Amino acid sequence: MAGLALALAGLATYPLYASATSVAEGITLAPASQASIVFDRNDRRVFTFFRERRTDVTLDRVSPNMIAAVLAIEDRRFYSHHGVDLIRVMGAAWADVRAWKVVEGGSSITQQLVRMDALTRERTFQRKVREMLMAIAIERRFDKSQILEAYLNRVYFGDGYYGIESASRGYFGKSADDLSVLEAATLAGVIKSPTAYALREAPGRAVERRNRVLRALRDSGLLSEPHTRELENAALTTAPPDHDERGDAEHASDEGAYCGLYFKEEIRRLLIKRFGADQLYQGGLRIYTTFAPELQRAAEQAVADRLRTLEANKAYRRRGHDEPLEASLVALDPMTGYVLALVGGRDFHESRFNRATQAKRQPGSAFKPLLFAAAIDQGYTPGTVIDDLTNPIAAVGGAWLPKDDHGSAASYTLRRALTVSSNRAAAQLMRTVGVASTVDYARRLGITSSLAPVPSLAIGTGEVTLLELTSAYSAFADYGVTAAPVLIRRVEDRAGEVLWQSRVSTSRAISNETAFLMSSMLGDVVQRGTGSVARTLGFRLPAAGKTGTTDDFRDVWFVGYTPHLVAGVWFGFDAPSKIMNEGFAATVAVPAWATFMRQATAKDKPDWFKVPAGVQKVTLCRLSGQLATDECRWRTEMRVPQTIAVATTGSLEPAPPPVPVPVRVPVPDAVYEEYVVSGSVGPCTLHGPHAAVKAEFAR
């Protein structure tokens, strides 16, 4: 009868066994959903993207302390059983009977792994049997190391951390292979109930559970009694929690706390477009970016400090805006186009709209260097004189004469016009260079936004993004070569295979000589023009740049550079309106740029651009802008010669009046030194009466 009973029991459980074995055959220990990791320009980990925050590691990259702690508390006989620890099962059953409730589970590590992959957590006899049968089947297919590695990579540690690597970094700011005995015991204690023993929400219970793990290690002969007591008295310390955007399941945590969220969001958008959301959040990508955390922190601090100062200004506060003043900043390497820092607004949590890459606004005079570069590339020089600045310009809508806030002279050289930011000089220059040519040069320099071909484009009425304009200035900083902006260097899969790699895309936008002359002129803007506030604020390195202020002080810009770093800033309201009375870029924007650059270049040595072989310094006539001749330095005046009274005798006739004679006299400040492209300037022919009547212009 006993044999018959066993046979009948076998027949009854066979379907369950067959089903469990079939399910177990389908289980693999391949990596589960993996977080994608973002690295900075020095290949340091800075961000993650995930649905389950998980990063797999091989068993040899897990601290022996962690392995010992997990085995001691979760499955002491892991290496001696075949999937089910019968001794522990019987002990757990007896404990449950004595307590008249379930107090111990008795599941082996293999059973827990099966439960993670294939079973629910319902507490039924049938499920428990299936779990055991599947665990036995799993151990027939995989060795112990594979099972333990999969378990450690999949187990949940609370706070959104799946797997030992993610938990180790999240709670202790270190890799899993660096965990100490105390840290390992702490994490091993969390496994039983990540909620009940949550390190940050329930530290008291977490310490009690940790100490139980320490005693289990002692009982296993891995810790001495004195060492155990010492560790039990240790305080629970964890790293500050990283920022977790739990409001959006498609955003990741940031090991870099609040730094760089606009940069991260920008690369998220690029990655989803190229790889799709599933691969980004679950595929375990390794994303190597151009991000420079130290520059990003300096950029965010400079923007925040400037906004705070502006909002404390009485002129600003009287405006009574409902919406906050916004700002953006971009910094990039001019030779590679690598975007090093990116600030898209005052607060990412209030608005994810990126004002550096998505907002198109009028750049005002910050657009002028693109026009001036076109002029110089076509044969103008910094000393070329622009005349007739008080004469209106014919346009489709009628005669037009732009307002000039910085000067009202009738003529300027190109250099002086850029230094004082003369709108009328820019408008006259475009009339000769041509609107179509100006648009063409803007395209060459990397402006992709639509630009209306109208005369007012000369003073920056076309709309561009800050990233576009800042990138355009990189051509001046790299001898005429522009590099397309890059945020991601390459993307690898979890095995290290390169899936995509960016190439530095460069093109010659303007000549080497033109780039040098532009830097020379824009250097004057920083040294003695509208950008000179940077000098008063302590930024001392040789630099070049240009301010931009739009009508009614709605948008203010400054884009400037050294030979190794280009940075642009913008301030304004999302719904364009006046920032403040007299809110010029020199007042509003330049201080933020100077603050950032002072920090970003603190370790740089003074450096400037080498004079190209095709550029020479010559002496020009100040009135004509041509090579100075002797006639430029001297002018002829008719003067009466001085007479000396001499005593005479004899004739009583009066002496004849003195006759004026021509005398050559030097002309003060008639000539000056200037850079020009070799052979581009001829000798001055502006002599005689024409020189006398020509209007003198500001130097």
Tell me the catalytic residues. Answer: 74, 365
φ, ψ dihedrals at 258, nearest 5°: -95, 5
**388-400 burial: b if 16+ Cβ within 10 Å, else e:** ebeeebeeeeeee
With helix as H, strand as E and coil as C, how does 578-612 read?
CCCCCCCHHHHCHHHHHHHHHHHCCCCCCCCCCCC
Residue type, 519: S
Beta bridge partners, 635, equal 665
Q: Decide: 280 and 35 in contact? Cβ < 8 Å.
A: no
Cα of first residue to Cα of last residue in the chain, in angstroms, is: 119
DSSP 8-state symbol, 379 = T
Which residues, in sequence order, are bridge partners of residue 621?
Answer: 671
| Residue partners of 14: CB distance under 8 A and separation at least 6 | none
Distance of CA 605 to the CA centre of its chain: 23
Instruction: Extract the tokens encoding 671.
Output: 């000539």
CB half-sphere exposure, 583, CA atoms < 13 A: 28
437: burial class by Cβ within 10 Å (0-12, 13-18, 19+)? Answer: middle
DSSP state letter for 529? S
320, 289 contact by CB (below 8 A) = no
Query: Do the strands 286-289 and 36-39 form a parallel or antiparallel pair, or are they unpaired?
Result: parallel
Q: Which two tokens stand for residue 598?
A: 């002072």
The number of angstroms, rounded, from the C-alpha of 224 to the middle of its chain's C-alpha atoms is 51
| 54 and 33 Cβ atoms separated by less than 8 Å | yes
Segments of 449-554 assigned E as strands? 481-483, 488-492, 498-501, 506-508, 544-549
